[in-house]
Amino acid sequence: MSEKEKMLAGELYDANYNEDLIKERYIVKDKCFEYNNLKPSKLEDRMRLIKKILGSTKENFLIEQPFICDYGYNIKIGENFYSNHNLIILDANKVEFGDNVFIGPNCGFYTAGHPLDSERRNKGLEYAKPIKVGNNVWFGGNVVVLPSVTIGDNVVIGAGSIVTKDIPSNSVAAGNPCKVIKTI
């Protein structure tokens, strides 16, 4: 099994010394650099380039600059998607967003994690687990979503939250760790 296959299967893999994965990351990071340095008013150029970065998009969306990701091809966004400035998606595994998702500034979605034992971690091994976000979800600013999290439909995640566990549909959730505080 290749390191990329291990990565996508959620198994421990070597991201730091695998030439194929390193090359893929440099390709997309160069595209992100280009995207982030386009004039904000060049919306058509921005849209053309971001569609080359992401794995799947619908027609109506906007990602404000700057935007950073690891691979791009693992990111799927739905219709009417909006992200404010400084979105970071570490997409070593799938990150899927439904329709009508709004993301505040300085948010991060991290599929990557590292072993707790230092021997394996110091060898550069890591794992990646998917993140899935439903429809009609709003993230306040400075939210971090960690690996293996699923967020249901009709959810509001309060600013500054760190989402470590699944959040059910029709919820308002906030905190560190993020917990449901109200049902909608």
> pLDDT, tens digit, for every residue of 46-96?
999 999 999 999 999 999 999 999 999 999 999 999 999 999 999 999 999
Q: Which strands form 112-113's sheet, in the order they lie side by side? A: 13-14, 125-128, 112-113
Give me the sign of the Cα torsion angle 18, 21, 106, 149.
Answer: negative
pLDDT value of position 16: 87
| DSSP label of 30 | H
| Alpha carbon distance 179, 184 (integer Å) | 14
85 is catalytic: no
Structural domains in the chain?
3-183 (2.160.10.10)
Single out the catalytic residue among 114, 129, 132, 179.
Answer: 114
Taking only the tens place, the pLDDT of each residue in 4-44 is 999 999 999 998 889 999 999 999 999 999 999 999 999 99
- 131-133 β-sheet, strand order: 75-76, 95-97, 131-133, 150-151
> First vs last Cα of the chain: how many Å apart?
45
Q: Is 171 exposed, middle or buried (0-12, 13-18, 19+ CB in 10 A)?
A: buried
Contact (CB, 8 A) for 59 and 79:
yes
Helix, strand, or coil (residue 88): strand
